[in-house]
Amino acid sequence: MKRAVVVLLAALALPASTVQAGIFDDKEARQRIEKLRVDLDALTDRVERTGRNQIDFVNQSEAIKAELARIRGQLEVLLNEVETTQKRQRDFYVDLDTRLRKLETSPAAPLADARPDNAKVDPAQEGRDYEAAFAAFKSGKYKDAYAAFTAFIKSYPSSGLLPNAHYWAASSQYQLGEFDKAADTFGKVAATWPNDAKAADALLAQGNALSEAGDKKGSRKALESLIAQYPVSSAAQTAKRRLKKK
């Protein structure tokens, strides 16, 4: 009898154990599902953050490029101002030395007769006129700048600043969209003053102007001429890089 009771109790206990195991397996599955959801949410958040970081990186990169371009422009203007000031000083001292030598060699002559032919030119006024033209260019008043540089060229045909005046007159034309005319003026700088510091830059600028005018062949010719004539200049290095892209 006791054996029968034990067998019966064991039989009754078996379904309950099976049900309990099923409940445990379902709970564990839910826990795993919940963990997968948490992992998925974390991964989604990481992907979104990565996307935002990439967009921020692109925006920062573009901002840095724009700032570099602005700094390069300011640097070019400053370098030109320094170059212009130094050249004006050299011209002034050369003119002064010439006048003194004439006075020394002709002590008995009246002062008016001892002055050179270009003594009527006031170096100070010449400098002011040039600075006024360049100030107009820096202010973005390209039409006024071109007119001022053209007037300077006519007023001071013997000035040591003529190469610079022509260069910035051409730059004014370029900014006004007159690319053909700008190319001609840039070309005149290199042809008339091949030993001037602006000659190499003028050829590079001529290549740019011709390219903007649609004359790709002429642009390539100008850049090749620049490399041939001024191979060690920074302008020539820029020309080489541009030719590779053409």
Quick: pLDDT tens for 100-125: 444 434 443 333 333 344 447 788 89
Residue 16 domain-assigned (yes or no): no
Looking at mean pLDDT, say which of 60-64, 79-83, 229-233 comes out highest: 229-233
179-192 and 216-229 helices cross at what angle (nearest 10)?
A: 20
What pLDDT band is residue 228 in, cutting at 50, 70 and 90? very high
Q: CA-CA distances (angstroms) from residue 186 to 25, 81, 201?
A: 85, 19, 9
Going by C-alpha positions, the residue among 229, 230, 234, 187 that lies closest to residue 208 is 187
Mean pLDDT confidence for 30-55: 74
Q: Give the pLDDT of residue 246.
A: 64
Structure tokens at 40: 């998925």
Q: Does the residue 136 lie in any domain?
A: yes
pLDDT of residue 73: 59
167 contacts: CB under 8 Å, gap ≥ 6: 186, 189, 198, 201, 202, 205
Name the one residue in this structure whose structure tokens are 């892209």.
245
Residue 24: per-residue pLDDT: 47
Is residue 105 in some structural domain? no
Check pLDDT > 50 for residue 155: yes
pLDDT-based confidence at 68, cuts 50/70/90?
low
- pLDDT average, residue stretch 186-200: 96
On whether residue 83 sits in a domain, the answer given is no
Coil, helix or strand for 20?
Answer: helix
Q: What is the pLDDT, as a whole number, of residue 152?
A: 97
Position 206 scores a pLDDT of: 97
> How confident is the prediction for the chain on average, in pLDDT?
77
Residue 59 within any structural domain of the chain: no
Domain assignment present for residue 164? The answer is yes
139 in a structural domain: yes
CA pair distance 204, 227, nearest whole angstrom: 9
- The secondary structure of 99-111, three-state, reads HHHHHHHCCCCCH
Say if 6 falls within a structural domain: no
193 vs 5, residue with greater confidence? 193
Q: Which domain holds residue 142?
A: 124-246
Helices (H), the chain: 2-105, 111-114, 123-138, 142-155, 162-175, 179-192, 199-212, 216-229, 234-245
Domain total of the chain: 1
CATH label of the domain that carries residue 152 = 1.25.40.10
> How far is it, in rounded angstroms, from Cα 201 to Cα 237?
11
